[in-house]
């Protein structure tokens, strides 16, 4: 992954400040580095070459007249379409590199360029003509980008190390953000562990001219069902074509590409479809190889029989790599190096697999993240049938649910959803508020936080909900796209891979994939007790039957490290979490036996407590 940064200073950007930024960004793996400075603005970038086109680029990339420059991290999914449109507009990019295309798009369409660019990226443009910095992040915020404003000075960078290196004073912890991690409840979209440092929002463009810092959202998740077919087979065909195209686009590389194969429905499908694309001459890389975590048979992450079945299906070998399972000291040192919270254990366990991919010569790893979110479906199909007055669909769903759950449960489910759909919007919001209040007083009330932070979290939750649609189905769709927790996961996995020189790509989280899910009826994804229905049907003949029939999923928990996290909090929590945690409430959580099944129930909270204590 490339690292990028920018400085805007009305008194002029100092050369030593820009060199400090460049040196910090260069501490992760890269092939090229560069900086650009002109008056009030400066840019720095380190570039990891992952495609033929990236070898053509020089970052920062500068316009013909020298007045506009850009840095870009990540990759574009639609470079060919953008080049065609820009050429037709009489503004072709200087070359086919992503940064040249992005700068040409900005010059042609201004702030509207971000909506046209598909992919996983962050972009910074120093526009000397307008005297401003322009920033854009992709639809889900895969590539992290942070900013810190100090009067008329703005610093932007893709990691916290660089922000800390350029700050005039020590960064201060943000206790509300840490409280979210400790309670495992995430509501603030722009917050980070550091009070002075904010996150550039996903699907947003931001600009700064020395006076005003403005941010505007350029993409909203569609909520209305706009893809309708008479036959279910047409949804299946549409889905299969869309998935193949998403996978083809992320395969663009000048080296062999790694594919993570967990053995589940999603990653196994990508592995088998990669073989089909390669045989059809559509794979945009010199080849690919599959990699799977080799967990022990006695653990809860053992998926090798399914991963091996996928490999047999296409006649390919599979590289099996043991889980990375360090002691707690590694987590603490790694977090300290990144100036961030410690990565959760289910992310860290991928590290040796990722190192193997790099050792084998690849720079890109494709994974199946997103399938659970966007294919799992939900039981809200009765609301959709009621909204469209589709009595035939309503009756079929009721029959399927009765076969799976019994008539009584099916009728209750259908009745609740129908009533909810017919309830006026303001009343829906009032009911949802009451349910939230009841939950806060329930079993999982965050009694281990001090009352002030519990109140602040409740206020943040109310503010988050106030920005969401009143309709519960639409609310759920927006929440899947905007939930702040995914910023944590994307940032942590990116930082882990960037340090070893690997770029992750997510075909099942591309905008086309998400929009298909949002714009199609719920029943094509879930029917009765069966989830991922359209995916299972589309993968018939692609996946072996034993994977198609899977209804279980591995649980990648790590009891050993959970116990160490808890011991760390017992030793340091009272001192380091003072002012954040209530001592008596903290003791209640630490009384849990983390080697028992109850430990799984509290695993995220104990990670949050450890991560907060270690950070502080």
Mean pLDDT of 53-64: 91
Residue 106: other Cβ atoms inside 10 A: 23
Q: Spell out the domain ranges in the chain.
A: 3-174+195-217, 232-308+345-353+361-374+486-548, 559-615
* Residue that has been written with the tokens 């206020």 in this structure: 459
- CB half-sphere exposure, 56, CA atoms < 13 A: 13
pLDDT at 93: 96
H or E, element range at 33:
strand 32-38
Tokens 């002012």 sit at which residue? 579
Least confident range of 228-242, 339-353, 484-498, 592-606: 592-606
Place of tokens 């659970």: 372
Bridge partners, residue 526, by sequence: none
Q: How many Å apart are CA 322 and CA 293, to the nearest integer?
A: 6
Mean pLDDT across 182-193: 95
Higher pLDDT, 57 or 460: 460
Does pLDDT of 500 surpass 60? yes
Confidence of residue 279 (pLDDT cuts 50, 70, 90): very high
Of the candidates 193, 190, 194, which has an alpha carbon nearest to the alpha carbon of residue 460? 190
- Which 3 state secondary structure label does DSSP give 14? coil
Backbone angles phi, psi at 29, to 5 degrees: -60, 135
What homologous superfamily does CATH list for 232-308+345-353+361-374+486-548?
A: HUPs (3.40.50.620)
pLDDT at 614 over 80: yes
Token pair in block for residue 320: 């099996």
18, 541, 45: which is closest to 314 by C-alpha? 541
d(CA 209, CA 399): 60
Q: What is the pLDDT of residues 555-570, one digit of tens each?
A: 778 889 999 999 999 9
Is residue 366 within 8 A of residue 250, CB to CB? The reply is: yes
Model confidence at 437, pLDDT cuts 50, 70, 90, reads low
Distances (CA, A) of 172 to 145, 339, 453: 19, 11, 17
E-state strands within 402-520: 503-505
Domains 3-174+195-217 and 232-308+345-353+361-374+486-548 agree in fold: no
**Cis peptide, bond prior to residue 60, ω within 30 of zero:** yes
Instruction: Read off φ and ψ for residue 32, nearest 5 degrees.
Output: -135, 160
- Cα dihedral across residues 524, 529, 535, 540: positive or negative: negative
Q: Show the DSSP H helices in 483-558 as ranges.
A: 485-500, 511-519, 533-538, 545-548
pLDDT of residue 85: 98
Nearest-angstrom CA–CA distance, 609 and 616: 11
Q: Average the pLDDT over each of 142-156, 277-291, 388-402, 523-537 and give the range with the smallest value.
A: 388-402
Indicate the range of 107-121, 246-260, 416-430, 526-540 predicted with least confidence. Answer: 416-430
d(CA 345, CA 425): 41
Given pLDDT bands bounded at 50, 70 and 90, which one contains residue 436? low
Cα–Cα distance for residue pair 542/534, rounded to 1 Å = 14
Q: Which of 341, 290, 345, 307 is nearest to 323 (CA)?
A: 345
Cα→Cα distances 599→171, 181, 343, 559, 564, Å: 34, 17, 18, 8, 12
Which band of pLDDT confidence, cut at 50, 70 and 90, is reported for residue 525?
Answer: very high
Q: pLDDT band at 443, cuts 50/70/90?
A: low
CB 531 within 8 A of CB 261: no
In this predicted structure, which of 92-101, 432-441, 547-556, 603-612 has the lowest mean pLDDT?
432-441
Q: Which residue has the higher pLDDT, 336 or 302?
A: 336
Cβ neighbours, 10 Å, residue 322? 12
Least confident of 60-69, 92-101, 544-553: 544-553
| Residue 75 to residue 503: CA distance in whole angstroms | 9
Determine the number of helices (DSSP H) and then strands (DSSP E) in the chain: 27, 17
H or E stretch at 215: strand 213-217
**Does the pLDDT of residue 138 top 60, yes or no?**
yes
Strands 364-366 and 257-260: parallel
**Alpha-carbon dihedral of residues 344, 346, 347, 349, nearest 10 degrees?**
120
pLDDT at position 272 is 98
pTM for this structure?
0.95
Residues composing the chain: 616
* Residue 581, Cβ density class (10 Å: 0-12 exposed, 13-18 middle, ≥19 buried): buried
Q: CA angle at residue 223 from 432 to 366, to 5 degrees?
A: 105
Span 54-72, average pLDDT: 93
Cβ atoms < 10 Å from Cβ of 64:
8
What the block records as the tokens of 609 is 């407590």
Q: Which of 140, 379, 373, 138 is nearest to 266 (CA)?
A: 373
pLDDT at position 67: 96
pLDDT for position 80: 97
Q: Residue 441's pLDDT is what?
A: 63
What pLDDT does 384 receive?
Answer: 82
Q: Name the band, by pLDDT with cuts 50, 70 and 90, for residue 403.
A: confident
Quick check: 405 pLDDT over 90?
A: no
Percent of the chain with pLDDT over 90: 78
Residue 576 has pLDDT above 70, yes or no: yes
What are the pLDDT digits (tens) for 444-490?
678 899 999 999 999 999 999 999 988 888 888 999 999 999 999 99
The pLDDT tens digits of the residues spanning 347-374 come to: 999 999 999 999 999 999 999 999 999 9
Position 493 pLDDT exceeds 90: yes
CA distances from 55 to 296, 379, 431 (A): 41, 48, 56
Categorise residue 184: left if φ over 0, alpha if ψ from -120 to 50, beta otherwise.
left
pLDDT at 180: 96
Closest CA to 368 of 321, 320, 307: 307
String of DSSP letters for 550-596: ---------HHHHHHHHHHHHHHHHHHTTTTB-HHHHHHHHTS-TTS
Residues contacting 75, CB < 8 A, separation 6+ = 50, 51, 98, 119, 120, 121, 250, 252, 503, 505
The per-residue pLDDT for 5 is 98
Rounded distance between C-alpha atoms, residue 180 and residue 457, angstroms: 7
- The domain defined by 3-174+195-217 folds into 3.60.20
How much is the average pLDDT of 322-348? 97
Q: Return mean pLDDT, the chain.
A: 93
**CA gyration radius, the chain:** 25
């Amino acid at each position: 992954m490339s690292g990028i940064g920018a400085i805007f200073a009305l008194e002029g950007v100092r050369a030593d400040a820009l060199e400090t930024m460049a040196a910090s960004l260069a501490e992760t793996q890269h092939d090229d580095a560069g900086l650009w400075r002109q008056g009030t603005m400066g840019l720095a970038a380190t570039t990891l070459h992952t495609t033929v086109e990236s070898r053509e680029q020089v970052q920062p990339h500068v316009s013909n007249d020298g007045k506009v420059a850009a840095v870009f991290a990540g990759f574009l999914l639609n470079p060919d379409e953008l080049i065609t449109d820009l050429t037709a507009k009489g503004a072709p990019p200087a070359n086919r590199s992503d940064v040249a295309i992005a700068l040409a798009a900005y010059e042609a369409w201004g702030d509207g360029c971000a909506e046209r660019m598909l992919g996983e990226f962050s972009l910074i443009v120093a526009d000397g003509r307008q005297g401003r910095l322009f920033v854009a992040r992709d639809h889900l915020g895969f590539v992290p980008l942070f900013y810190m404003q100090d009067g008329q000075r703005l610093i932007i960078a893709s990691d916290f190390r660089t922000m800390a290196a350029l700050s005039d004073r020590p960064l201060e912890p943000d206790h509300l953000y840490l409280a979210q991690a400790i309670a495992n409840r995430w509501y603030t979209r722009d917050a980070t562990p550091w009070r002075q440092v904010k996150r550039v929002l996903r699907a947003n463009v931001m600009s700064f001219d020395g006076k005003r810092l403005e941010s505007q959202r350029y993409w909203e998740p569609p909520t209305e069902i706009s893809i309708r077919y008479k036959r279910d087979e047409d949804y299946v065909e549409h889905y299969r074509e869309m998935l193949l195209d998403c996978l083809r686009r992320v395969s663009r590389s000048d080296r062999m590409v790694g594919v993570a194969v967990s053995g589940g429905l999603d990653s196994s499908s990508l592995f088998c479809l990669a073989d089909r694309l390669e045989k059809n001459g559509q794979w945009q890389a010199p080849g690919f190889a599959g990699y799977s975590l080799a967990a022990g048979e006695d653990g809860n992450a053992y998926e090798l029989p399914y991963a091996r079945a996928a490999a047999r299906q296409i006649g390919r070998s599979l590289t099996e790599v043991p889980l990375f399972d360090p002691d707690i000291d590694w987590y603490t040192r790694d977090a300290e190096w990144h100036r961030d919270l410690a990565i959760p254990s289910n992310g860290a366990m991928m590290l040796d697999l990722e190192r193997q991919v790099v050792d084998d010569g690849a720079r890109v790893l494709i994974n199946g993240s997103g399938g659970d979110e966007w294919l799992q479906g939900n039981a809200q199909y009765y609301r959709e049938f009621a909204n469209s007055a589709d009595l035939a669909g309503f009756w079929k769903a009721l029959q399927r649910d009765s076969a799976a759950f019994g008539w009584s449960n099916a009728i209750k489910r259908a009745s609740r959803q129908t009533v909810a759909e017919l309830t006026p919007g303001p009343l829906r919001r009032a009911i949802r508020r009451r349910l939230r209040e009841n939950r806060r007083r329930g079993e999982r009330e965050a009694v281990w936080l001090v009352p002030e932070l519990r109140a602040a979290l409740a206020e943040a939750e109310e503010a988050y909900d106030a920005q969401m649609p009143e309709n519960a189905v639409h609310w759920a769709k927006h929440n899947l796209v905007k939930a702040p927790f995914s910023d944590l996961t994307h940032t942590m996995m990116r930082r882990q891979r960037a340090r070893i020189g690997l770029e992750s790509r997510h075909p099942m989280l591309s905008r086309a994939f998400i929009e298909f899910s949002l714009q199609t009826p719920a029943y094509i994804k879930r029917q009765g007790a069966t989830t991922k229905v359209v995916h299972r049907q589309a993968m018939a003949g692609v996946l072996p039957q034993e994977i198609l029939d899977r209804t279980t999923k591995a649980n990648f928990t790590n009891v050993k490290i959970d116990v160490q996290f808890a011991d760390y909090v017992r030793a340091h929590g009272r001192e380091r979490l003072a002012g954040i945690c209530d001592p008596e409430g903290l003791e209640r959580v630490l009384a849990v036996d983390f080697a028992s099944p109850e430990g799984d129930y509290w695993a995220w909270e104990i990670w949050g407590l450890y991560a907060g204590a270690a950070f502080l």
